[in-house]
Structure 1
Amino acid sequence: MNAVIFAVAVMLVLSLLRVNVVFALLIGAISGGLVGGLSLTNTITTFTEGLGGGASIALSYALLGGFAVAISKTGIPELLVASILKMIKKDGDTEKTGLAKTLIILALLLMAVFSQNLIPIHIAFIPLLVPPIIHVMNLLRLDRRLIASVLTFGLTAPYILLPYGFGFIFHEIVAIQMEAAGLAIDMKDIPFAMLIPTAGLVIGLLIAIFISYRKPREYTQDIKIEETALTNVNKKLIFFTVLSLIAALVVQIQTESMIMGALAGILTLYVTGALKWKEADILLTDGMRLMAFIGFVMITANGFASVIQATGDIELLVASSSSLLEGNKALAAMLMLLIGLLITMGIGSSFATIPIIAAIFVPLAIEFEFSTLAIISLIGTAGALGDAGSPASDSTLGPTAGLNVDGQHNHIWDTCVPTFIHYNIPLLVFGWIAVMVL
């Protein structure tokens, strides 16, 4: 049996059985190495040598995690919550429900988008921002499936398209892994290649807002959560926090390193006093712990990719697939996208999926004579597919954590299923279109 197929199958089965993703990748790599003819010693050595490829990404995540928690303690989330509540109250306690709903949806959408690129705090804002407005959403009879869809869109679309913050990390992974698989690319081409797939996500969002969940929904238990006030927000502290965000963005753009960008943001918080020295160690450690799991998955995924490349079975898989599909580019593109969907749904991380699929898909796509832009779109889309909808993804776990504070929002049926339908299906269709036309 082909070692690549066997390794991926083992990893997928173990992941779907809820085995820890790191262990699933490790066991899959060892199994694939042995099936591919490598000795146990060679397999372990190859796996270990491949771990270094994910080190910079893991450090980027760790520093961003620390930066995110530090920002969350400065008062910006409280300020945003209070501002939303203040605007809603101007409407006479839900008399103008349409405007109030629009304000909530727009505010949460913007915050989710900013959390990936402009204010790179990932899902850390959700438990701070969403629970205080649950009571208001209940009064407005706002369907929480809609809010889950809005938040998941904001947590996925920006990093797929924009090369800033977490988007820079995603694009960097795509570029590095494609080069490792034999195709060097310019990172500046990635946003253009991902434009059509991202348009599919936008359409999914519009369908969720204006068709699927526009009707009111009743929630029987109305647990009023204490609202956040503006009295404790220090305007000077907010100014320094915004300054740190600007510093992080500017340094990242200038150095093309998310590590240096996050470091610049943290140092700015230190120097200005927005981050107290006596609290800094605890906050940064908590933040790094928040992102540590994703970092370990990324490191392990690189070891996994290294092993399957060492078996030499990638070339055999490419040759046999090319022969089986008989040059049918349309079928090949759809098959690779579906494989990407299955892998990401299983491990819950689009970032960790790229190293796994790039080693297989790049040679296969070259064999089918896809253009460079088409291959970029194929790898990026195949990696992103499944992030929305996976029960193990931060993009679904985060929204559920905020919306289920009163026990009335089911993770699978109210977050995973709606986001899978509205985002994975359009992304699959538009991703396929992008691969075929670019």
Structure 2
Amino acid sequence: MNDAGSGAHGTGFGAFVGRAHAAGHLVVQPRMGMSDPAVMRAGLLATREAHATTVGTLTLDSYTRVGDLESAELALLEGVALNGYPLVSHGLDTTRSILDGVLDADFPVQVRHGSAVPEDIFKALMAADLDASEGGPVSYCLPYGRTPLAQSVANWARSTALFASARRPGLEPHLETFGGCMLGQLCPPSLLVAISALEARFFYEYGLRSISVSYAQQTHRGQDREAVAALRRLCTELLPDAQWHVVVYAYMGLYPQTPSGTFALLGQAAELAVATGAARLIVKTVSESLRIPTIEENVSALEHASAVAARTVRGTPPDADSETYAEASALVEAVMNLGPDVGHGLLTAFARGYLDVPYCLHPDNTGLSRSYLDEDGRLRWAVTGKMPLTRTSGVAPARSVSSAELLSSLSYIRRTFDSGPAGDSSAEERIAPRGA
């Protein structure tokens, strides 16, 4: 089974998304996490009641993400608000009270966390009968701290196997890769696609059969479509009997600061998801560049994305035999040939520089690669380091990237969308917040 529709007749998070996709609906989802149980419950209820096909999110706090449970518990005792929901520290009874009457077959909930040490998180979500989470041994290690990659791979191997063991009638564990979102920006799509596909294969090798693969909207619409097509082709090859779907993320870098710019960019993310056959979209809000969004702002983003998706026609998917696929396939092939399983392959690949994330400062990242934006807004390799990309057609001779060019590239999307109407989804077409 090779796409969201294939798993439409089961139960759980993946099956819900599959049913929605088969019915022609894009599932939209917020990043939402509040430490106050009452507010968290209100956020889930508002998401469920939005005029869109939605799933809920419990996004965890920073202390829980890094395994500092003592600080999370102290904050709760002192009444200090956290930047997410402390799933482990709140305890099972509190989480069940939040989910009671909210979580069901028509409204699944995913736990999102960002941890390289996720075992306690998986134990807590499994105890609460939650069946969906996300992350990965590379994508939740390299960008977020200095945890050794070998330790993260071992942690994720244990946690994935543990999560897979929760499978039973009525519950199919689901994991989403975060590999398609590495660093948020300035990572050429081929590397995003390769890491997302490899993390999916990692989950598969540890027993999971309900998987989603991520890709974050980048700087060029055509290149993004090529990337999602390449990701779908690789997953067909790497996940032969799994139920899987693609999840697109609205742009992860510096977000526009104007309402018109934010809604236009989000609208293009929804169009990308529909046009490429993705089943789910993670939204961003009008306040994204300023502060943590309110529940109302999240609902407005969900409804706007859903409205754009509903009027977007699913076209003919782009040719999967693209420059992006050629590069991504070369990277995946190199890793798969390096060890008895993907975990060993990933460690060896990073040690040798076969995988190398540009501008990533983690000690286990070689740090030789660099990227740039060309005149059309496509992300290109400036320097490939030791990555096995010389045989692919799109790699140009090495070039330097100045600090001024790097800073300009980082703000490219913000400047483009804040300067005026962009794309097909103008501010006038957006869904206004309720009560406006």
The TM-score, its normalising length taken from structure 1, stands at 0.25
Larger strand fraction of residues: 2
* Structure with bigger gyration radius: 1
Report which structure shows greater RCO (CA 8 Å, sep ≥6).
Answer: 1
- The structure richer in helix per residue is 1
